[in-house]
A = this chain, B = another copy of it.
Amino acid sequence: MISRLYNEILENKQRILVSTAELKNQLFAMVKEKLDTKWITYLPPTNIPSKNILAIDGGMWSKETRSGVVFIVDAEAVLYDGRNIERLDDRALIDAFRPGNHAKERISLVMQLMELQLAIKNGDKADLILLDGSLAKKIGRHKVTEKISDIDDVFTVDDIISLKEGESEEKMHKLLVAENHYAISLLIEKYREKLLFISKNSKSSDIFGQPYSDVVVLELFTQGIGYTQPMEKTIEDKYIVSKKASRILSNLKFYTSLVRLDKDSRILKFDFFEREKLLEFINTLAAISVRGYPYPLLEVHKDVRISRDDVKRVMRLLGFKPKQEEWWPSQFL
């Protein structure tokens, strides 16, 4: 960067810090009243009996090469009994797509489907099933003029049927959405009351209606363990692609709460199906959270995430050269 920018920063630093502090004060004035009614501080009881918790997460990485998008996906299910983590089941895939036509989104649908399949297969072993990510995001917002039933009678938890579609990427994308919807419907049908979707990055601002997300508001102005009252949500029929899945998913009600599991920790979003289960979930998870994040989800995340070192190794395995044109102008060389 040019040296004049340093001077600019030094001269204006104080003004900038004051102005961000002012922004914070303005925000506080806007949300103060609502905070008192919406945020409920809570002290979970100690000596909560431990439960069998299934935690599932996935990882993905893709590289747009000159002739296609190569990608890898993995997913794992671990079982935590209050003392030990047992690695129950996992999935892994490497494949290549043509670029464009929602390549990235298809890859993320593959990862999500693997997670759902692991949950369906292993859910019976647990009292509580934790999935990473929000329910609404897993459903997505793919408007379709007509629901399809291509997947409905061939669905299996061991394979991804949609990937066999070789002709049209558009079709494959639609099939993947349908296959995910089918898996979600099956999962809910089997394990409705013990399902908990936990997301770290909720952007919604329904509660406080500010340009800042509700999570930011709560993280700025609350500190202790607590939650927001469950808000009822409905899965809209128009977004459901699989015909059979829509019998269960269309117009299905679920609940959303923002939760802090430990003092000074970050806010999580919980999606679940039985309103009165919220405190039970918080009691169970607050006891086993690591700085506010459920321990089994953290462990499974560590296993599946594809780190920079993994990427380097994978690139070597596949014979890709690392960053060929380092001289090429780019913002963050």
**A interface vs B, CB < 8 Å?**
1-2, 4-10, 12-13, 16-17, 19-21, 23-24, 27, 59-60, 65-68, 70, 72, 74, 76, 90-96, 98-101, 132, 169, 200, 211-212, 216, 219-220, 266, 290-291, 293, 297-298, 301-308, 310, 314, 317-319, 325, 327-333
Contact = CB atoms under 8 A, between A and B. Distances in A.
A212 B100 contact: yes
A73 to B, nearest CB: 8
Contacts of A27: 67
A138 B84 CA distance: 56
A67 B23 contact: yes
Contacts of A90: 2, 4
Nearest to A11: B94
Nearest to A100: B211
A318 B9 CA distance: 8
A76 B8 CA distance: 15
Nearest to A210: B100
Contact of A98 (B17, B67, B211): B211
Nearest to A91: B4
